[in-house]
Amino acid sequence: MKSISQALVKFQSQLKPINKDSENPFFKSVYANLSSILQSVMPVLTANGLSVIQPMKIQDGFTVLITRLIHESGEFIESEMILPSHADPQKYGSLITYYKRYQLQALLGIATKEDDDDANSVSESKPMQAPRPVSKAPSEAQLKAIWAISKKLNIETYKPSTFEEASAWINKHGGKN
């Protein structure tokens, strides 16, 4: 991890602030879109022997976004995030872009000029809540039980995001976990 760490330090010292160039009419705010961020970071990454990719994979029935920072030495750092599902392909595409942008910024340790205030905009409308404890994803057995019960009851399949949600759903609908 020595080579990638040194390259990342150099990258961060050379990167200039990224301008916000897009508008979010819903929150009445501006932000830097994914394309602008990539245009700003790619030349500096490349100059330091770094590259970034953002593939996705399906794991235990969930779509997982991976952001991987790769050094020319072969060393890499990555972050994975389970994406929420969405039935509308266009909205799902926007959701993927949104998460790619934030995961990329988090992995590279960068912010845009006058850092995004999305959290401030949201928190003004309601009090901050304590974060929920991190939970493991539902097991394959739980998901199979949910799908079987759903089919038997002729109801839409539910995709829980946590082990606790899966357990509660199975218990409510007559299964055993």
CB 54 within 8 A of CB 91: no
For the segment 47-100, what is each residue's pLDDT rounded down to a tens digit?
A: 999 999 999 999 888 899 999 999 999 999 999 999 988 888 898 898 999 999
CB 110 within 8 A of CB 67: no
Strand blocks (E) in the chain: 22-24, 29-31, 50-53, 56-59, 62-71, 76-82
For the segment 91-145, what is each residue's pLDDT rounded down to a tens digit?
A: 889 899 999 999 999 999 987 765 544 444 444 545 555 455 555 666 777 777 7
The one-letter amino acid at 43? P
CB 138 within 8 A of CB 62: no
Contacts of 52 (CB under 8 A, 6+ apart): 41, 42, 45, 67, 68, 69, 70, 104, 107, 108
What is residue 63's DSSP assignment? Answer: E
Does the global pTM surpass 0.85?
A: no
Work out the mean pLDDT of the chain and round it to a whole number: 80
